[in-house]
Chains A and B, each alone.
Chain A
Amino acid sequence: MATNHQQIQLQLDEKKDKQRKIFKIVGLSVIYIVLTIWAILTFVPLIWMFISSIKDTTSITQVPPQLIPDQPTLDAYRRVFDVGGFARWFLNSVIVSTILTISNVVLASLAGYAFAKLKFPGRNTIFWILLGSMMIPGQITLIPLYILIVNTFQMADTYLALVIPTLVTTANIFLARQFMASLPSTLIDAARIDACSEPKIFWKVILPMAKPGLAVLGIFTFVANWNNFFWPFLVTSSNEMRTLQVGLTSFRYQYTADYGAMMAGAVLTAIPMFIVFLALQKYFLKGITIGAVKG
């Protein structure tokens, strides 16, 4: 009797195990299918951009569209460089993004450290005001900012106009404060007892520990400024001062548009971002979790 009972029990257990396995497989399959569709949806525009960039001018607007061009050509790329200015736009983008990355890393880390670790009157009030300013939509500040930079300071069409408004952003100060707050305060106390001056504490103790956080901040800032279109579009007018994103609009004429060149330009613009992303993937992931509550 006992053996029979045990056998039945074993069979029941096996059945349950099988059911569990099936549920697991079905569950995983659903997740993979959803993620695959998501990946395809994300990837299609990029692939379309690349395919369009190697089509000739007639096949690019053909209906129905060619998924794989009959005669792939690099003509569009040639036109990008022939029109003139691409190299300069690229340089402008590099200059603006680099300056803003450096300034944001330096200023946001200093401000973040002060808000997280130093005691001074009004610290919380100032921080809350800064946080409050993050809630004002960019569209509201755009016109006053434009008037300030272009009319009052007469900076239109200069590098200063491109960089001054975002030398340091509130979002970056907030991000820096969050990871600075996670560093143990006793290290600062220990450094004070170790006869370290306040600037040296920041330089020798805080900065080395804040490196991963600052890397995230730097990468995000670089990518955001590289992809920025609207502000450079507003404050630049000459061909020499355009950044890549603004430059790409030059391929749109009054009645026509050179879509091939636009796509080729977009591919060339995106390449540095791909490299940055692939090289620094782990920091991107870290960036998503900074400020998140640990479980």
Chain B
Amino acid sequence: MSEVRFVNVSKEFEDDNKGKFTAVNDATFTIEDKEFMVFVGPSGCGKTTSLRMIAGLERQTSGDIYIGDRTVNKAHPKDRDIAMVFQDYALYPHMTIRENMSFGLKNLKRPKEEIEKKVSEAAQILSLENLLDRKPRELSGGQRQRVAVGRAIVRNPKVFLFDEPLSNLDAKLRVQMRMELSELHKRLGATIVYVTHDQVEAMTLGTRIVVMNQGEIQQIDTPEELYKNPKNMFVAGFIGSPPMNFVRGRLDGNIVQTVEHALVVPEDKLLKYAEYQGKEVVLGIRPEDVINIEHLPDAPAQNVIEPVIKIVEHLGSEFLVYFGIGEETIVGKISSDYHMEVFKKHQLYINMEKMTLFDPQTQMRIG
């Protein structure tokens, strides 16, 4: 069993500039055995602090951390059966790749034969056989990244910890390494805790994702659930690229009345919004739910708006079109099969089947 459990864990820091601040506030969650859990959020949200607390590099101010079935509150990193891959790889520059990979096992006083066997196995998995006698400075970014992963693999730990390992790579290499990490997870069958600020990385790698903001856990869910049913406006705005659009309005009967439009809410959704009848709400619409009417010849007459397009961004297979509803700028992701012109009116259908409503005060999803 190699699950990781946080029970009411908080971490406070004393900072010269900020004074006392809470990096992680009362976090409780369980990372299941063999799970690929991704922590995602903006800078300073507490994701790396959480990872460092699992590693034992930071001691929590309060709460309990479990790895497997034992508490590791005061355990030294070496006694936690974890391995970590750092953002800057943290390879020892004066050691060869072989020495880098075997350093941990040597410190644990494992037999020489075992160390050699494990290093060569990991080198084979990661195609590093020919680089073992080189120094880190002689390797490319991608190769260094592999060595850092290799150094973690040889330890055969219960839990792998990754701290933004792909952020120093170029876009192409990042996609490739993403696939390799995903395959590695399947191959090793280990628990992986992965920190990133890149929501695409989070969505593609994670079996579940923890979304954090300002030290608070916002939502823990599968990528699909996070996307389809975000718990609050932060998650809705953070997950998805471009993010979800928010438009203020009032719910009257089956209509969300915005400054400019009356959008009809599907009957089956109305029940859960009953409490908000006659009240202010925030309507959330994903960019792909803004559809060019030319794509939908049978589209209903309702929920069609005709805004003036302000900006069109060409992405190849699709356009990102920007237009205004009141003071809010809305972005739509529209297939590039039909021509879209700037400063012209275009008929766009808002797919209210997939809309979400939020409470403007609490910013939580309604229903």
Which residues of chain B come closer than 8 Å to A191, judged between CB atoms?
Answer: 92, 103
Q: How many B residues are at the interface, by size bracket?
A: 20 to 34
Judged by a CB distance under 8 angstroms, whether B66 is at the interface is no
Q: How many A-B residue pairs have CB under 8 A?
A: 56
Let me know if B92 and A205 touch, CB within 8 A.
yes
Which residues of chain A come closer than 8 Å to B92, judged between CB atoms?
Answer: 187, 190-191, 205, 208
A212 CB to closest chain B CB, in angstroms? 11
Let me know if A193 and B82 touch, CB within 8 A.
yes
Which residues of chain A come closer than 8 Å to B83, judged between CB atoms?
Answer: 193
Highest count of chain A CB atoms <10 Å: which of B83, B91, B104: B104
Judged by a CB distance under 8 angstroms, whether A192 is at the interface is yes
Which residues of chain B come closer than 8 Å to A200, judged between CB atoms?
Answer: 107
Binary contact track B90-107/A, C-beta < 8 Å → 1, others 0:
111110000000011001
Highest count of chain B CB atoms <10 Å: which of A193, A194, A197, A205: A193
Judged by a CB distance under 8 angstroms, whether B227 is at the interface is no
Judged by a CB distance under 8 angstroms, whether B77 is at the interface is yes
Report B295-351 residues with CB < 8 Å from chain A CB. none
A267 CB to closest chain B CB, in angstroms? 40
Binary contact track A191-218/B, C-beta < 8 Å → 1, others 0:
1111111001000010011000000000
Binary contact track B66-81/A, C-beta < 8 Å → 1, others 0:
0000000000111000
Which residues of chain B come closer than 8 Å to A189, judged between CB atoms?
Answer: 52, 55, 57, 84, 86, 90
Which residues of chain A come closer than 8 Å to B56, judged between CB atoms?
Answer: 192-193
A184-B88, A186-B88, A200-B107 as given contacts; A192 in contact with B93, CB under 8 Å: no
Binary contact track A42-55/B, C-beta < 8 Å → 1, others 0:
00000000000000
Let me know if B78 and A186 touch, CB within 8 A.
no
Partner of B86, one of A190, A196, A208, A209: A190
Closest to A207 in B: B94
Partner of B107, one of A187, A195, A208: A195
Given A192-B56, A195-B104, 14 extra CB contacts under 8 A? A186-B86, A189-B55, A189-B86, A189-B90, A193-B55, A193-B78, A193-B104, A194-B151, A195-B77, A195-B107, A196-B107, A197-B107, A205-B92, A208-B94
A selection of 7 A-B contacts at a CB cut-off of 8 Å is: A184-B88, A186-B90, A187-B92, A189-B86, A191-B103, A192-B77, A193-B78
List residues of B whose CB falls within 8 A of some A CB.
52, 55-57, 76-78, 82-84, 86-88, 90-94, 103-104, 107-108, 151
